[in-house]
Structure 1
Amino acid sequence: MSDKDLTMSLADSLKLTQDTLQAGVIEILGEESKLLANLPFRFVEGSGITYTVQKTQAKPQYRTVGEAYKPSEIEYENRTESLAILGDEAIVDTYQNQIVADYNDLMAIEVALKTKALAHAYQKAFLYGNTEEDIKAFNGLNKRLIKNQMFQSSGIVADDLDILADAVRGANFAIMSKSKRRKLTNENRSLITKSTNEFGVQVTQYGEMVICDLDDEIFEDGDENSIYVMRLSDVDGVCGLQNGGINVTPLGHMTGSPKLKTRIEWFTGMAVYDDRAIAKITETKE
């Protein structure tokens, strides 16, 4: 299997890496973000990927004896996704390095803070990324949603999830705010189960659907009451993209500055292989 055919979760990457720094960053990403912990990532060769999305269904026909079929046409659309460069640098002053007993602990703290911020940045782009507004990022869910996959809330969270699950074939993942998740739990405790994922984080499930509850401030104004439901899959759903995984590079002393630097960088993006793999429900503004 070539790298371009390879898809792995963060947990898979963590098991395979032999780089201690990279392993630490992957573990922080998985602990900090339920989205990143669940999202499959397809490895991409080069700077992007082109794939085909089916837009219309075939139309089988009835025929009489001896009659020939007129083959129906299926409409396809070619799409290209470019990888974005997401990263930051952890910096420790040489004075701190001198007075602190363990430099590695100090740099580890800085790397952890930068990694958590990186996870939040990916989540934000996953929802709201728009290359027309920021050419350096990638297009997120709201940019990709089609009209037929957008609904108005019924006012009952469980009913809204059912509406969205019906709209998404093989729905297995939902994103909502923590305040919305609390409402779901309070109203439907008998339908909620809890488990622990591979990163030791408690996960809420509604049926077979994993609930990814994000901090309310991640959502844009007015969108914190929305719910997104999707199918995570590298075949017919929503999938992350990356080239080479997370890069963690100790750069040592900065030229012309009394500081030490470690760079965290990720060539990443996302793809949606079926327009019906995502749906969103919003509350009507009064």
Structure 2
Amino acid sequence: MLKTAMLLPIAVIAGAIALSSVFVVDERERALVLQFGQVKQVKSDPGLGFKLPFIQDVVTYDDRILSLPTRPLEVTPLDDRRLVVDAFARWRIVDLVDFREAVGPGGENVAKSRLDSIVNAAIREVLGSVPSTAVLSADRTPLMNRIRDLARREARSLGIDVIDVRLTRTDLPEQNLAATFARMRAEREREAADERARGGEAAQRVRAQADRSVVELTSEARKEAEIIRGEADAEANRIYADAYGRDPDFFAFTRALQFYAQSMKPNSSSLVTQPDSVYFDYERFLESLGTAQK
């Protein structure tokens, strides 16, 4: 009984020592085994691990991709238009030893604080090298990639890999919104006036071209009409001349009828003559026409 009573405390102590020498690493974590603050072992695989009891300690770190929202930051692009920028970064611990040496016992909280400063500095540097139109545009992927690459280089010494940086909001400060909107409105009105002026100029050119085309077409049509009319008159004169050569009396008779028809039109001028005028004597009228023709 005495021997059993002595072995029981020894077994309890041995069990406690055995338990304190074993630790478990979750699949979402990685662990460091420290001895007096110095790294002695890196446990990257999930499962059981062993350490020296009472001498070595185990510190675990998250092995997942972590998110870091940055505080609102005011930046000044190349055109001196101040902008308020919000962003977030996604990062991961890739080197536990460097990470532990860089942040010390503070762990992830210290890492987030230092990474926030690194990301903000990268945002200021990149956005300060481009105009505000590039920052406010819909496609800001090249700018975000530049910020990510710059932050990644700076965070490498912390044992951290910056996976991505995204700009979530890029707005003007409240005091600048009214002035900016007024300037944008004035610019758009000026552009609209320029477009209207260019449209009016183009319309004037089209109208001038159309008017010139109308004049040219009308002149050409009149010229062709005069040519056709002249050819028709020549043909008519030829026919009249041929008819006169064949029967002079019939030709004289036709001309007399044409003269009577033209002089006796309705609403024509009045004709005042003597009763014995040649106008009423057909034979004498024909003789006068023949004499006039000769």
Q: TM-score category by the smaller chain? A: under 0.3
Higher helix share: 2
Q: Which of structures 1 and 2 has the bigger CA Rg? A: 2
> Which of the pair has the greater relative contact order for Cα pairs under 8 Å at 6+ separation?
1
TM-score by length of 1: 0.21
By percentage of residues, which structure has more strand? 1
